[in-house]
Chain A
């Protein structure tokens, strides 16, 4: 049974379509890497999955149950799973980390379990400590986000998402705002998560990273999946668009 399955979803902002019929399946423990040019609908795709964005049409299933079902012709939009409950199971890490600036790293990580799961503060802080060690920011637990490096902030944001013990983690260009050295630190953490068997849906521009850890690659352009397959397609693209995109990415390095 698929862990996540997306059926023909559509989403427009006003008149401009952002996602135009995207479908894919993600098996438990699998890592799916989404690549593609900016404005191709990658971030919106992730936001639609955890219901931060409303789809116009299509169906999304998680763990065999329908999350949301929408039909454009009859303009119906039915959420069949409690959004809060769903979001505790599908974690999301943002491109610009979105840490809360006036809470310490410990508070940032522990707030989710405290507010959503009703965990005791002391237990949540212990959990934060453990996750802080896992992503190598243990010495920064009492600092505020502004005093951390970009890589540390992003790892803190990953720890914050992990604190909810999600079954699936979505990472949205988490290395795009970082220089190569800092990005490498974050990529290492992501590889660790993959080895732990967490199902991952990763939007990235790191082609090497996609090749190393993806089980499935989706190339998204103009709101559509132009090409999909195993990481092999990154070396031998079938479509012109992917070949062109890869050439551009290589040149930028």
Chain B
């Protein structure tokens, strides 16, 4: 019969390691969310223009790159960045390498979601703007972008949830985030079960309320209003 003497005191002893790890995880997520969202929205806008000419080629190229990055596991992107970017750019900080890799992974999804949201703004709403004499830029700025942005908020919530979890991958390139700190603690103490249970607990405490919030957003009339 399996017998194990539980010793939860290690969690309390190493509480600051967990706290610091959570801090780094949170910071890494926030940076990735911020950069990934801004670049993704910008990319989505660029892709929503379907003007003919040389731009068509650029657009197809971007769409191909997006598909390629979507097809790569985020861990591969992180490792690729870790081994290649220092040579190409001189960035050596693991934190920033991981942040850029995660931003890129998020960026491609945000770009796709926003591009579809822009295309999905009902034509009649757009015609109503033109019929009042609005110019094309005004219609984009005052009607299409606000409507598209509003409609992607719940989806962004789900993507953010994912990014927060994906930061754990940064542990492989020695970013001292939560998983990395937890594995350190477990190797000092040999208390693997307690440490990883605590680790799971911390993720749940942070993400369950967030999931709940996202579900609220999905059903909120703010984002599903129809005339």
Q: Identify the A interface with B (CB < 8 A).
A: 50, 52, 83-88, 91-92, 94, 96-102, 111-112, 115-116, 144-146, 153, 157, 160-161, 164
Q: Does B3 touch A at the CB level, under 8 Å?
A: no
How far apart are the CA atoms of A160 and B225 in the complex, in Å?
A: 20
**What residues on B are CB-neighbors of A98 within 8 Å?**
124-125, 127-128, 227
How far apart are the CA atoms of A99 and B220 in the complex, in Å?
A: 20
How far apart are the CA atoms of A88 and B131 in the complex, in Å?
A: 8
Q: List B104-122 residues whose CB lies under 8 Å from chain A.
A: none
Nearest-CB residue, chain B, relative to A50? B131
Please list 13 pairs of residues, one from A and one from B, whose beta carbons are closer than 8 Å in the complex, sorted by A's number.
Answer: A50-B131, A84-B133, A86-B133, A88-B132, A101-B225, A102-B146, A102-B150, A111-B142, A115-B132, A115-B142, A116-B133, A146-B226, A160-B132
**What residues on A are CB-neighbors of B146 within 8 Å?**
102
**What residues on B are CB-neighbors of A86 within 8 Å?**
133
Q: Does B61 touch A at the CB level, under 8 Å?
A: no
| Interface majority SS (helix, strand, loop, mixed), chain B | helix
Q: Identify the B interface with A (CB < 8 A).
A: 124-125, 127-128, 130-135, 138, 142-143, 146-147, 150, 225-227
How far apart are the CA atoms of A94 and B143 in the complex, in Å?
A: 17
Instruction: Contacts A88-B133, A100-B143, A116-B133 given; indicate if A94 touches B128 (C-beta within 8 A).
Output: yes
How far apart are the CA atoms of A116 and B128 in the complex, in Å?
A: 13
Assess the B132–A164 pair: CB atoms within 8 A: yes
How far apart are the CA atoms of A111 and B130 in the complex, in Å?
A: 12
**What residues on A are CB-neighbors of B227 within 8 Å?**
97-101, 144-146, 153
> Beyond A97-B227, A98-B124, A116-B134: 5 further Cβ-contacts under 8 Å?
A50-B131, A84-B134, A87-B133, A100-B147, A100-B227
Nearest-CB residue, chain B, relative to A145? B227
From residue B67, how far is it (CB to closest CB) to chain A in Å?
Answer: 32
- Nearest 3 CB-CB pairings of A with B: A145-B227, A88-B133, A112-B132
From residue B124, how far is it (CB to closest CB) to chain A in Å?
Answer: 4
**What residues on B are CB-neighbors of A99 within 8 Å?**
128, 227
How far apart are the CA atoms of A112 and B130 in the complex, in Å?
A: 10
From residue A182, how far is it (CB to closest CB) to chain B in Å?
Answer: 16
